[in-house]
Amino acid sequence: MIKLMAILKFNEETFTHGIAPISYSWNISNPSVIQLNLPHAKSEVSTALVLSNKKIRDNEHNNNNAVFSSNFNSSTVYSTGVRPGEAQVSVQLAIEYPSEYKGSKNWFSKTITLRINDKLKVDI
């Protein structure tokens, strides 16, 4: 099992967590190779909070009614390799800024490629 974590960076400062209205959405391109799992959500109530859709203003496109689909709404997810292959993992996040920052970019995304092998091997 691999732990995936979204880390925010402002200039040279990094943040792995914080108190802010931030929504996360994780997606995988090939679930037959890698599956995503939440690190928590042990009850129906917490699952309902995590798996939700909400309207978050998209400042870059000046859209007050942009719908942010929150799959795996957590800064951290776990991935489990199912079989050898490659898959792209994407994370999108939206920050709900106060109105004085409504001109600032507030939707961000990043995609990486994970390769699953059938054996762990280190080339020297």
Residue 120 and residue 84 in contact, taking contact as beta carbons nearer than 8 Å: no
Q: Stretch 33-61: mean pLDDT, rounded? A: 73
Residue among 85, 91, 69, 111 at smallest CA distance from 31: 85
Q: What is the pLDDT of residue 123?
A: 64
Q: Is the pLDDT of residue 42 over 70?
A: no
Quickly state the pLDDT bin for 11 (edges 50, 70, 90): confident
> Rounded to whole angstroms, how far apart are CA atoms 105 and 61?
9
| Neighbouring-strand partners of residue 70 | 52
Q: Which domains does the chain have, with CATH numbers?
A: 2-116 (2.60.40)
Residue among 94, 88, 58, 87 at smallest CA distance from 73: 94
> Residue 66: is it exposed, middle or buried by C-beta count within 10 angstroms (0-12/13-18/19+)?
middle
pLDDT one-digit tens code per residue, 84-100: 999 999 999 998 888 88
Model confidence, pTM:
0.74
